[in-house]
Amino acid sequence: MSIYGYIRVSSDKQSVENQRYEIIRFCKTENIKISDWIEETISGTKSINKRELGVLLKKINKGDLVICTELSRIGRSLFMIMEFLNICLSKECYVWTIKDNYRLGDDLTSKILAFAFGLSAEIERNLISQRTKEALARRKSEGGVLGRPKGSNILPEKNRLYKKINTIDKLRKPKMSLQKIAKRLHVSRSTLSNFLKKISNQ
């Protein structure tokens, strides 16, 4: 059995020491010891998969325990928290929080919660998908154009490089490579090359 202490702060200005102190003090009262610490400085709105928390979820096994000070350390949305707890419970891991005083494990209450979390997460995903489809349908019915504006890939005047034609001409006179010119203009070489082709075809 591995015991993980999870700490998250949203900025460098916030100290991790307060959370670490609370977890260590809690472990002493429970007579347990942290096997490994997971610390990260990242917004709680970031996807779990893009965080160290996602790495932890892949690593935990049956019987492992994750301890954090409170559920808000997991994420800033109910959906994200439910997703995390659902994965932990489906792997038969334990999740304990100190301030919230949650003890989620293999008991009946936790299994009921796991079902509720999973169902809620699925409902939330469906609602998000439905809202997106409705928004796109409404925009289309109102005459809105979906995707990039028509002509943005056809008319050179629509390209942000159009205003920099003179600069491009000056850079090309010393036979500077397209790669270097693109780098100076902060665009990719292919973007610059396509723009020049459109200009020459006019």
At residue 196 the predicted structure's pLDDT band, cuts being 50, 70 and 90, is confident
Q: Is residue 101 scored above 90 in pLDDT? A: no
The rounded mean pLDDT for the chain is 80
At residue 107 the predicted structure's pLDDT band, cuts being 50, 70 and 90, is confident
**pTM given for the model:** 0.56
Contact 102, 71 (CB under 8 A): yes
Q: Is residue 108 scored above 70 in pLDDT? A: yes
Span 5-62, pLDDT tens digits? 999 988 766 678 889 999 999 999 999 999 999 999 888 888 888 899 999 999 999 9
Q: Who has greater pLDDT, 121 or 188?
A: 188
Buried residues in 166-197 as b, exposed as e (16+ CB within 10 A): eebeebeeeeeeeeebbeebebeeeebeebbe
* Residue partners of 20: CB distance under 8 A and separation at least 6: 5, 7, 37
At residue 151 the predicted structure's pLDDT band, cuts being 50, 70 and 90, is very low
